Chains A and B, each alone.
Chain A
Amino acid sequence: MQTQLKEKSYLELCPANDARPPNVGPSRLREAIEASWTAIAPFWPLQNLVAVNPLQGLEDLPFEEALFEAAVWFQQRDLPPSMDAVNRETIKWCQAFFDEGQATITMPLRDRGLYQAWRVLAPHDRLLHGGDAARRAWLAALPPQPEAAIAESLRKLDIPPAHQTRFMMLLLTTLPGWAAHIKYRTDWSASEPVHPHPVTHADYLAVRLAITCALWPEARDLLGWHARARQTEQRAAGAHQAIAQAELVYRESLLRSLAGRASIPAQHERAPRAQLVFCIDVRSEPFRRALESCGDYETFGFAGFFGVPVRVKDTVTGESHASCPVLLEPRHLVRESPACSPAGREQVQAGHLRLDLAKRLYQSTKYTLSAPFALVEAMGPVNGAWMALRCLAPVWAERLRDRISGLVKPVAAVASDISAIPVPDRCDYAETALRTMGLTKSFARLVLLCGHGSTTRNNAYATSLDCGACGGRHGATNARVLAAILNDPWVREDLIGRGIRIPGTTQFVAAEHDTTTDEVTVHAESLTNPGLQQILAQLRDDLETARASNSQRRAAELGFRGTQSDGAKHMFRRSRDWAQVRPEWGLARNAAFIAAPRELTRELDLEGRAFLHSYDWRQDPEGTALSLILTAPMVVAQWINAQYLFSTLDNVAFGSGSKVTKNITGKVGVMQGNASDLMHGLPLQSVCSGDGDPWHQPQRLLAIVRAPRDRVRDIVQRQPILRKLLGNGWVSLACIDPVDDQAWLLARDLLSWQEALA
């Protein structure tokens, strides 16, 4: 049975494979090229590390089979030694081509694209032709089209047509990190400006194959090696068993506590002192709990981009980035500028130019010949003192830096200009946001929309701790945009027609939760009403209290032993410490996604392991909101969950190894030491509290929905993405049915419900 399964999945993986008659036409080749890329998941650059399932390309397979395939394709430790030289040269050229601003003397001809540039340079490369005239001539005669070069190389290597897809797949999976970066560039960077150095699937394969031809003419052996790996692979079953066991224990305990609260009647409807909307991120849950215990606050969970797909442009620096989930295209441009008088704005602008000039002075002297010798002597004393201060007193160093940079460039609050968003769109965004999170009545006077971001220093993986829903960025902008929309009188007028009446006294205010220090920065510059200010003052006090208690808990998780007041101080120090490899635990230990009203989870200690999405089935008779929740935020949660799972399961194959020896290349990714594959995934320190001591618990996402189970099943069956993830066991779905208050688990056939707590 097992062998049959393997065979089946293998055929699925290589669609243009043995079963078909050999046909070597160009369209057949193009198909083979595309098919060979299917197993590769994209990997985002360090500028915005979006979590992704490294086995995304295998999600069409049942989880158990995907584990087996992953072990065969990605986890092998004994490639033929001849592959070493091929990989080394590929790494060398990838480093050169995909550099985003480290090198001063860059690879020539990059604007022609990867293959074209490489083709011109390759005949000069002694490490490829070894001085051999014939090999050199072969490199020089490579055809201009990458597809033709692929065909030529496959012919030279004598790969039979029936095995070509598999062979090319092997060339991709034996250097998976670089392939993943290229997959990002080719398939996932469409919303970015057109890249000046283009690359295509065929480009990379052409280069990789030609290098293989030059250095390992017998590379056909790779196919035999792969076949042997399939025969002998055994680790997948054990891994699956451990995962399933952990899931079972967690699921029973969580569902039991939830089912226990299911019968508690909803609180009578009245407006609390303030309402706060947080991101669904697992780090929000313990903070919300801590705040709720401080006073009469109602909290909600919603995707941290607040439903507004925007691109943000900083008018001072001129930089821009997309601030929405990578599954969406940004639809509007939001301009951000200092929130102050025109004169103040000019000061900020001038300050930016001064800072820019200082950087130019440094870079001008550093990145050239002959000048850096004097630079190091002149800068040595300053750098030495600064290094000692940062090592021995990181917080003081930070204060000193803030003070100096404040003198050069004044600090100002930021205002977001939403004029580019047409009013009808604003109304749609407002309605969708409020309905999806179930906040349509009993509005408090103050509603805080709280995005989030992290603060770390000297951290290559900084953006992996930022808001995933904002594409690996800080979320304050999106909070400001939605707050501005919901405060817009035209929007409120229109919402009345859509059945949502926001009282005139209610004000929406944006904020940002710093997940490293638990500080909440409230952007309430425009708040003038004394009553609101009073509420806000109280809220600020309570946010401080919540910070203290949550920081204490988190500091203890990071091994800190100290008294109550020291936890926040400790976390602050971690955030500013350039030597810190674990500034915070990020989303480690994430395990569940819960779409339900807060009453169901309130007062339960979910240990920061659950994504909480507010959802009220009573306000969603058609299931539109639930359908959206399950196909967008839940899918993002699954990407995150899978990234943590596989980075923990095998930190070398799917994670990026220890931060201790990391080496950033091209400003896009990390290598280990002198040179290696691009290490995609999370570093060891993000998932382990020590070498070989995992902190994250590898388990698949458990999605829990508070809604009638028939409605849930209908949605699942209508959505292909849910059929794929649930049917193949990448996510399991439970339901706390309001009809009987029982916990039900959807079977893998997606038809039947089983009692989860039998």
Chain B
Amino acid sequence: MQKLSLAGLFHLDALALVMIGLVAFIGLCVASFASRYLQGDLARRRFFMRLAALSATVIVMVSADHLLLLLAAWGVSNLLLVQLMVHKRGWAAAASAGILAGRHFLLGLGFVAAAFGLLYAATGQVGIQAILSGPVAPAYGLPALILLLLGAMTQSGIWPFHRWLTSSLNSPTPVSAFMHAGLVNGGGYLLARFAPLYLEVPQILTAMFAAGLATALLGTAWKLMQQDVKRMLACSTMGQMGFMLAQCGLGLFPAAVAHLCWHGLFKAYLFLGSGGAVREKRLDLDYPPQLLPFFLALGCGVVGSYGFAVASHKSWLAADTTLVLVAAAFIAGSQFALPLLRKRPLAMLPVALLATGVSGLAYGASVRLVESLLGPAVPAQPQAINPLYLAGLVLLLSAWLAILFARRPGASTRLPGWLLGLYVRALNGSQPHPATVTAQRNHYNPG
């Protein structure tokens, strides 16, 4: 057993600094928001104490090198999160949501603890950097990495561990904002931290990709079905976390960290602003699109994806897994161009090409910014395309086309029975856990 020293406990590298920056920024915004939002709330003091403690423990977690310190910070921050989520104990549904999340977190903690135990058994090391620098015996290493992945999946609300996340909306709005930009990213952080080990086991990467992409599409599909703003945001987070996991599975860990950072800011903003949902007016996008604008939009998508590849220093058409990221940029670019080409497609084409190209560049630049901040702290290693990656790519594209060309409701009086069944199944699947619903109005208790 090595001697404990402060230097041995922490490892402050670029990854830790990026995560600390993210947590501190969100923490500051949320605290400022909550200082007015919780005016008059009896649990206000308690809230701020916990928020401060949570920010501190997350900072310890991301900068810890000692396995036990990381584990302790992981456990304590999740406990604090549960307490923040419950806020008012007299409200049974909120307490149930806290218990549900707590159970998931405990399971996740168990996975991570077991993984750490195996890593220690394999290497005799308690420092992460020491573990990463030496070889890990596969007999211990493989199960350790699988357990670590399961722990990360629980934390990030990946299917089948998503239920706590989609049932977490009894929390005060600022807690949701902090959570969706903070602790759900714990899983991504953990994987990025152990990226060097994962990059040596392509099979696990492929599994990661599969679980990630499935969650990405499921979460996003659920998001599109939700009628309340907060559950929509929660399902969307689930989908985004899935995409982040899929990026890890592509071997592109720095891109995954970029995703979790920018998604964190995006989602925190949407949660804090969720009171304005009434004023957001949904505009008719005239789906399905006409064929001419659609094909022109595909051309714009190509330009956008090229801009993305250039600005993010990625190869545009390589036969490796970066292709999936480029495809995602292509889809987003095409989708972005569609409204521009809706009327007078040919006349608007130059504008659309320019706008999509510039957006692609900006998108690539934002990813590149995080990647260059991370530097060598988080390795990237695109994987060779295997059939599963290819299937994922096809799925990503066909899901998009399906939703784009599916007939809009209204003209839907003759939907086939299986589609109606699918709607109800998906609706039911995305419902919060029954115990976390305030089924009786007078069981709600704000005091």
Which residues B411-447 have CB closer than 8 A to chain A? 412-413, 415, 417, 419-421, 423-425, 427-428, 431-432, 434, 436-447
> Given A102-B277, A383-B265, A580-B36, is A657 in contact with B436 using a C-beta cutoff of 8 Å?
no
What are the interface flags for A89-105 relative to B under an 8 Å C-beta threshold, 1 for contact and 0 otherwise? 00110011001011111
Q: How far is the CB of B369 from chain A (nearest CB, A)?
A: 8
- Sampled A-B contacts (23; CB under 8 Å): A77-B442, A85-B434, A88-B437, A91-B437, A103-B232, A105-B409, A174-B440, A196-B410, A372-B220, A373-B240, A376-B240, A377-B363, A380-B265, A384-B265, A387-B272, A391-B30, A392-B29, A661-B171, A664-B275, A674-B169, A675-B437, A675-B438, A690-B40
Of residues 214 through 263 on chain B, the ones whose CB sits less than 8 Å from some CB of chain A are 216-217, 220-221, 224-232, 236, 239-240, 243, 258-259, 261-263
Asked if A361 and B336 sit within 8 Å, CB to CB, the answer is yes
> In the bound complex, do residue A361 and residue B339 qualify as a contact, i.e. CB atoms below 8 Å apart?
yes
Q: Is A658 an interface residue (CB 8 A)?
A: yes
With A364-B285, A651-B446 known to touch, is A370 a contact of B399 (CB < 8 Å)? yes
Cα separation A335 to B380 with both chains bound (whole Å): 60
Q: Which of the residues B228, B308, B359, B423 comes within 8 Å of A108, measured between beta carbons? A: B423
The residues of B that contact A370 with a CB separation of less than 8 Å are 217, 220, 328, 331-332, 396-397, 399-400
In the assembled complex, the CB of A231 is this many whole angstroms from the nearest CB of chain B, namely 18
B419: chain A residues within 8 A (beta carbon): 108
Contact at B438–A368, with CB atoms within 8 Å?
A: no
A118-126, A182-190, A483-491, A502-510 - the one binding chain B: A118-126
**When A377-B262, A660-B173 are in contact, do A364 and B409 touch as well, CB less than 8 Å?**
no
Give chain B residues whose Cβ lies under 8 Å from the Cβ of A377.
258-259, 262-263, 363, 366-367
Task: Name B's A-contacting residues (CB within 8 A).
Answer: 25, 28-30, 32-42, 87, 91, 93-94, 97, 167-173, 216-217, 220-221, 224-232, 236, 239-240, 243, 258-259, 261-270, 272-283, 285, 308, 328-329, 331-333, 335-336, 338-340, 342, 359, 362-363, 366-367, 369, 396-397, 399-400, 402-404, 409-410, 412-413, 415, 417, 419-421, 423-425, 427-428, 431-432, 434, 436-447
Q: Does A249 contact B (CB under 8 A)?
A: no
B328 and A374 contacting across the interface, CB-CB below 8 Å: yes
Binds B, one of A15-23, A109-117, A239-247: A109-117
Residues of A within 8 A of B232 (CB): 102-103
Q: Are A376 and B263 in contact, CB atoms less than 8 angstroms apart?
A: yes
Chain A residues lying within 8 Å of B333, measured Cβ to Cβ, are 374
Q: Mark A669-690, 1 if CB is under 8 A from B, else 0.
A: 0011111110100001100111
Q: Which residue of B lies closest to A680 (CB)?
A: B441
Partner of B228, one of A120, A653, A666: A666
B-contacting 9-mer, from A413-421, A457-465, A528-536, A627-635? A457-465
Residues of B close to A717: CB separation below 8 A: none
> A460, B278: Cβ atoms under 8 Å?
yes
Point out the residues of chain B lying under 8 angstroms from A47, CB to CB.
Answer: 278
Across-interface contacts of B259 in A (CB, < 8 A): 373, 376-377
Assembled-state Cα–Cα distance A676/B342 (Å): 40
A8 at the interface (CB under 8 A from B): no
Q: Nearest B residue to A389 by beta-carbon distance?
A: B29
> Is A603 among interface residues, defined by CB-CB distance under 8 A?
no
Residues of B close to A527: CB separation below 8 A: none
For B283, B399, B447, the residue with the greatest tally of chain A CB atoms inside 10 Å of its CB is B283
Judge whether A579 and B221 touch: CB under 8 Å.
Answer: no
Interface pair A663/B269, CB less than 8 Å apart: no
B439 touches A85 (CB 8 A): yes
CB distance from B426 to the nearest CB of A (A): 8
A748 to B267, CA, bound (A): 57
Nearest CB in chain A to that of B268: its residue? A387
Q: Which of A177, A368, A387, A660 contacts B441 (CB 8 A)?
A: A177
CB-contact partner of A664 in B42, B274, B308, under 8 A: B274
Contacts of A458 in B (CB 8 A): 272-273, 275-276
Contact of A378 among B221, B227, B359, B397 (CB under 8 A): B359
**A579 touching B272 by the CB < 8 A rule?**
yes
Cα of A109 to Cα of B369 in the assembled complex, Å: 47
Task: Assess whether A83 is interfacial by the CB under 8 Å rule.
Answer: yes
A579 touches B33 (CB 8 A): yes
Q: Are B363 and A691 in contact (CB under 8 A)?
A: no
CA separation between A458 and B447, bound complex, in Å? 23
A659: B residues at CB distance < 8 A: 37, 275
Chain B residue nearest in CB terms to A672:
B444
Q: Which residue of A lies closest to B412 (CB)?
A: A108
In whole Å, how far is B158's beta carbon from the nearest beta carbon of chain A?
15
Report how far A224 CA is from B432 CA in the complex, Å: 31
The chain B residue sitting closest to A363, CB to CB, is B283
Q: A369-B217, A378-B366, A660-B37 are in contact. Are A391 and B226 (CB under 8 A)?
A: no
Q: Bound state CA distance, A174 and B442, in angstroms?
A: 9
Min CB–CB distance B224 → chain A (angstroms):
4
Contact A88 B439 (CB under 8 A): yes
How many whole Å from B286's CB to the nearest CB in chain A?
A: 10
In the docked arrangement, what's the CA distance between A693 and B41, Å?
A: 10
Measured between alpha carbons, how far is A372 from B243 in the docked complex, in Å?
10
Given A357-B339, A380-B266, A383-B265, the answer on whether A76 and B442 have CB atoms closer than 8 Å is yes
Q: Are A365 and B262 in contact (CB under 8 A)?
A: no
Whether A101 lies near B36 (C-beta < 8 A) is no
Q: Which of B97, B243, B269, B409 contacts A383 (CB 8 A)?
A: B269
Q: Check A667–B275 contact: CB distance below 8 A.
A: no
Contacts known (A92-B431, A377-B363, A666-B228); A124 close to B442, Cβ less than 8 A = no
Contact A111–B413 (Cβ < 8 Å)? yes
A101 to nearest B CB, angstroms?
A: 4
Contacts of A653 in B (CB 8 A): 441-442
Looking at the assembled complex, report how far the CB atom of B261 sits from the nearest CB atom of chain A, in whole angstroms. 7
Interface assignment of A87: CB less than 8 Å from any CB of chain B: yes
Taking a contact as CB atoms under 8 Å apart, the answer to whether B336 and A652 are in contact is no
Write the nearest CB–CB distance from A223 to chain B, whole angstroms.
18
Q: Does A84 interact with chain B (Cβ within 8 Å)?
A: yes
Of B226, B410, B425, the contact of A124 (CB 8 Å cutoff):
B425
* Contact A372:B236 (CB < 8 A) given known A579-B36, A660-B87, A690-B41: yes
B221 CB contact (under 8 Å) in A75, A369, A371: A369
How distant is the Cα of A360 from the Cα of B446 in the complex, in angstroms?
38
Residues of A within 8 A of B268 (CB): 384, 387
Since A371-B336, A578-B276, A667-B277 are in contact, a sample of 15 more A-B pairs with Cβ atoms closer than 8 Å, ordered by chain A residue number, is A368-B404, A369-B224, A369-B400, A370-B331, A371-B331, A373-B328, A374-B328, A376-B262, A377-B363, A578-B272, A579-B33, A652-B442, A664-B274, A674-B436, A690-B40
Q: Chain B residues near A657 (CB, 8 Å)?
A: 444, 446
A103 / chain B contacts, CB cutoff of 8 Å: 224-227, 232
- A359 partner, pick from B33, B283, B342, beta carbons under 8 A: B283
Are B275 and A460 within 8 A (Cβ)? Answer: yes
> Is residue A46 within 8 Å, beta carbon to beta carbon, of the partner chain?
yes
Task: Find out whether the CB atom of A381 lies under 8 angstroms from the CB atom of B265.
Answer: yes
Q: How far apart sit A195 and B417, CA to CA, in the bound complex (Å)?
A: 26
In contact, A96 and B227 (Cβ under 8 angstroms):
yes
Q: With the chains together, A52 CA to B87 CA distance in Å?
A: 31
Complex Cα gap A677–B369 (Å): 45
Nearest B residue to A695, CB-CB = B40
In the complex, residue of chain B having the shortest beta-carbon distance to the beta carbon of A692: B447
A102–B446 touching, CB < 8 Å? no
Partner of B94, one of A75, A112, A176, A673: A673
> A285 within 8 Å of B by Cβ?
no
A665 to B225, CA, bound (A): 12
Instruction: Determine whether the beta carbon of B420 is less than 8 Å from that of A364.
Output: no
Of B227, B231, B279, B425, most buried by chain A (CB within 10 Å of CB) is: B227
Interface flags for A624-658 (1: CB within 8 Å of B; 0: not) read: 00000000000000000000000000011100011
Hey, which chain A residues are within 8 Å of B262, CB to CB? 376-381, 384
Does A582 lie at the interface of the complex (its beta carbon under 8 Å from any beta carbon of B)? Answer: yes
* Closest Cβ–Cβ distance, residue A79 to chain B (whole Å): 5
**A383 / chain B contacts, CB cutoff of 8 Å:** 265-266, 269-270
B366 and A381 within 8 A (CB): yes
Interface positions, chain A 370-420, Cβ under 8 Å from B, are 370-381, 383-384, 386-388, 390-392
